Structure 1
Amino acid sequence: MRIPFTMYASILTLVALATKAASALPAPTEQTAGVPLPAHTIFQLDGTLPNSWFENLAVRRNGDLLVTMLMPNASIYSISEPLSGSPKASITNIDGANGLLGIAEISPDVFIVAGGQLGSNGEPVLGSMGLWEVDFRKEEPTTRLVAKIPEAGIFNGLTTISSCSSAVLVADTGISRVWRVDTMTGEYETAAEVPEMLPLANITTALGVNGVKVRGGYLYFDNTDRASIFRLPIDKRGMAVKGAETELLTKLTHGNMIDDFLIDEEGRFWVATNSGNTVEVADGDSPSVVVVGSPSELTVAGDTALALGRTKADKNIVYVVTSGALAHPVNGTLTEPAKVVAIDRTGF
């Protein structure tokens, strides 16, 4: 039985899902050569977890995938040999949280993950948001609490600052800011808080800053309500440069929300639209292109985040994780267990 949407309302408000019906998404107005791109499911939970939600992912240097679970529990699924046709999965649980969100690699095979406690009604438990380190360098992963941030609303996207920094930046969708957290000391401070991170006013579901990335001296972030991606200059510590202007880089042509995104080698943005059930690629002022999925398909239903492959075997693969359309059942009725999809971007 599908859990009623009302049970998820608070989570959807705070962790970057929209209440706009998928049927309201505009249909693509032009055909682009080579799309839709080939896509297939490589891993999916079974029927024992019908109301499951994968929230984010990272790719290890050996090609294994690390997938965070938002519900029903705080687990990291380690998926080995993801393209083999018979991938193997192991699970690492995070004590002190019951839901996980963003994840990023801070040093070789050492990852930082964001999470916290969510109440039975989906409300985040105040003071419970934190970051954990998960070390995969040994056969049995180890975990440690990095920091709790009692002032936080609810964490979302997470990114490293540079290869020589022990700090990370984490988006706080609940209070529309980005925190800087030193993973060695646990010290934290506000790194950026600009109007472009705020949700739109006078709407039922208010969702602003969500996904975050650092590249070339800039913090890139999306705003879910605005279906847009921005960038802001930052210094070497990851702090917003005082007085610097925030630049609008792109706005989706078809989808009306962005959950998370990645930046490819050419600087294009691959976007998970979540309730839109699509992946779009945006490039500056050019119209964005729907490359996989549609509002009426389960292909990437409720997609939440994406990551590029890192090995020779998967360098042309974009991995996508999904929430199984729990927020907005496809065609009003269809949901499925969370899954991982591989998109072949060869030649795109």
Structure 2
Amino acid sequence: MFSIILTAVAAAAVALSESLPSKTLAQLEVGTFLENIAVRSNGDLLVTKLWPSAAIYTIRSPWERRNKLEEIISIPSIQSIYGLAQVTPSRQGVETFVFVGGNSTTPGETVTGSFGAWAIDFESPRNKVKVRKISDMSPRSKFLNGVTAIPDISDVVLVADSANGFIGRLELTTGTFDTSTFRFPLEMDPVEDARLPIGVNGIQIRDEHLYWTNSFQACIYRIAITPTGHPTMYSRPELIANLSSGVNFLDDFAFDIDGNIYASTNLDNSVVFIDAQSKEWKTVVGGIGEMTVAGSTSVAFWSRGQR
């Protein structure tokens, strides 16, 4: 089952005092694991499938009453697709999203060296879809997960390896994957003896900082970066929020227009809100023992005219 939360942007101002409404837009058969969400410029949703096969779905006009998940591409050579991010357009009339995926024995149990990166292009005016492989990544890649684009750069994305504990830099034109760009073991490595080897997970860039979750630490960190997406000189990770007193796991997240963070908790079946100023947090949808957003893995915002 897969639920997507629809809320007004104004809800962020009251998120610490009340829960937010939600509704299920679409769902697939039991045993399906959907992973990541991205929003197209027209408001359509793109959704990646992690298990039991690698595919990307769309939900067209999710604000309408009736919705469905439509498969638009599949990658038969792998079993799982993880992170997905839109890059700055390199050609007029083309929307490009980059995603990573690989083989798995079970959801969360990945096969080292099986990962790759692909791009999906939506070409107007007929909305034609094209898929192309970008890279075989590193043979040592264990669990490629979160993906984020660098603002105003069309040929580079950052990719998190949750098991190896780093965020690498993928050159889209050459397929070169630099695994040394962001390597901070204390803030990125998996927690010792965690049930799954997942450290750094969701990644986002905002206001010249790279943010990431460390899943089983239940923490969010950030580091200052250059306009080209490298760490600034002498910069070190900064702890933004520690939710470990009440949260067991943090997955992907998104910022609202005020810089507040909404994060999915996966194992805790909820979405949490972190205030940008006070760093206070609260569960705003779902909770342990609830099915409202059971297994929540991703959060995304969109409003007409603004992604």
The TM-score range, normalised by the shorter chain, is 0.7 to 0.9
Code of the aligned partner of 1:290: T
- State how far apart, in whole Å, the 2-side matches of 1:121 and 1:306 are: 20
Picking from 132, 135, 141, the partner of 1:147 is 135
The higher-RCO structure (CA 8 Å, 6+ apart) is: 1
- State how far apart, in whole Å, the 2-side matches of 1:148 and 1:179 are: 14
Matching of residue 197 in structure 1 with residue 188 in structure 2: yes
Which residue matches 1:98? 79
Partner SS, residue 275 of structure 1: helix
- State how far apart, in whole Å, the 2-side matches of 1:231 and 1:162 are: 16
- Structure 1 120/158 Cα, relative in aligned 2: closer, same or farther at 3 Å? closer
Answer yes or no: is the 8 Å Cα contact 2:108–2:196 preserved in 1: no
- State how far apart, in whole Å, the 2-side matches of 1:121 and 1:249 are: 29
Q: What is the aligned residue count?
A: 280
Answer yes or no: is the 8 Å Cα contact 2:27–2:69 preserved in 1: no
Q: Give the alignment of 1:168-247 within 5 angstroms.
A: 168-190=157-179, 191-195=181-185, 196-247=187-238
Deviation readout 1:241-289 (Å, 9 max, x if unpaired) = 3431110011225322201111111111101011111111012554311
Answer yes or no: is the 8 Å Cα contact 2:163–2:189 preserved in 1: no
Matching of residue 278 in structure 1 with residue 270 in structure 2: yes
Code of the aligned partner of 2:284: V
The offset of 1:131, in angstroms, is 0.7
Partner SS, residue 307 of structure 1: coil
Structural RMSD (CA): 2.1
- State how far apart, in whole Å, the 1-side matches of 2:272 and 2:105 are: 33
The offset of 1:88, in angstroms, is 4.2
Partner SS, residue 97 of structure 1: coil
- Structure 1 287/144 Cα, relative in aligned 2: closer, same or farther at 3 Å? same
Task: Name the TM-score, length of structure 1 as normaliser.
Answer: 0.75
Answer yes or no: is the 8 Å Cα contact 1:79–1:89 preserved in 2: yes
- State how far apart, in whole Å, the 2-side matches of 1:294 and 1:256 are: 11
- State how far apart, in whole Å, the 2-side matches of 1:209 and 1:116 are: 17
Identity of counterpart residues, as a percentage? 35
Structure 2 gap segments, 5+ residues each = 1-14
With 113-122 and 76-85 compared, the bigger mean Cα shift is at 113-122
Which residue matches 1:41? 24
Matching of residue 306 in structure 1 with residue 289 in structure 2: no
- State how far apart, in whole Å, the 2-side matches of 1:203 and 1:93 are: 31
Answer yes or no: is the 8 Å Cα contact 1:279–1:293 preserved in 2: yes
- Structure 1 227/192 Cα, relative in aligned 2: closer, same or farther at 3 Å? same
Matching of residue 158 in structure 1 with residue 147 in structure 2: yes
- State how far apart, in whole Å, the 1-side matches of 2:281 and 2:36 are: 22
Answer yes or no: is the 8 Å Cα contact 1:36–1:292 preserved in 2: yes
Answer yes or no: is the 8 Å Cα contact 2:34–2:47 preserved in 1: yes
- State how far apart, in whole Å, the 1-side matches of 2:205 and 2:290 are: 32
Partner SS, residue 133 of structure 1: strand
- State how far apart, in whole Å, the 2-side matches of 1:176 and 1:37 are: 33
Task: Name the TM-score, length of structure 2 as normaliser.
Answer: 0.85
Which residue matches 1:124? 110
- State how far apart, in whole Å, the 1-side matches of 2:74 and 2:155 are: 23
Partner SS, residue 303 of structure 1: coil
With 172-181 and 132-141 compared, the bigger mean Cα shift is at 132-141
Answer yes or no: is the 8 Å Cα contact 1:254–1:288 preserved in 2: no
Q: Give the alignment of 1:19-58 within 5 angstroms.
A: 32-33=16-17, 35-45=18-28, 49-58=29-38
Partner SS, residue 244 of structure 1: coil
- State how far apart, in whole Å, the 2-side matches of 1:167 and 1:156 are: 16
The offset of 1:125, in angstroms, is 2.6
Deviation readout 1:95-119 (Å, 9 max, x if unpaired) = 4321100001113521101101123
- State how far apart, in whole Å, the 2-side matches of 1:214 and 1:122 are: 25
With 252-261 and 69-78 compared, the bigger mean Cα shift is at 252-261
Runs of 4 or more above 6 Å deviation: none
Which residue matches 2:42? 62
Which residue matches 2:12? none
Deviation readout 1:272-323 (Å, 9 max, x if unpaired) = 01111111101255431111112121100000011001426x98xxxxxxxx
Code of the aligned partner of 2:84: I
Answer yes or no: is the 8 Å Cα contact 2:50–2:107 preserved in 1: no
Code of the aligned partner of 2:238: E
Answer yes or no: is the 8 Å Cα contact 2:157–2:171 preserved in 1: yes
- State how far apart, in whole Å, the 1-side matches of 2:194 and 2:83 are: 26
Structure 1 gap segments, 5+ residues each = 1-30, 316-348
Partner SS, residue 299 of structure 1: coil
With 202-211 and 144-153 compared, the bigger mean Cα shift is at 202-211
Code of the aligned partner of 2:22: A
Code of the aligned partner of 1:277: N
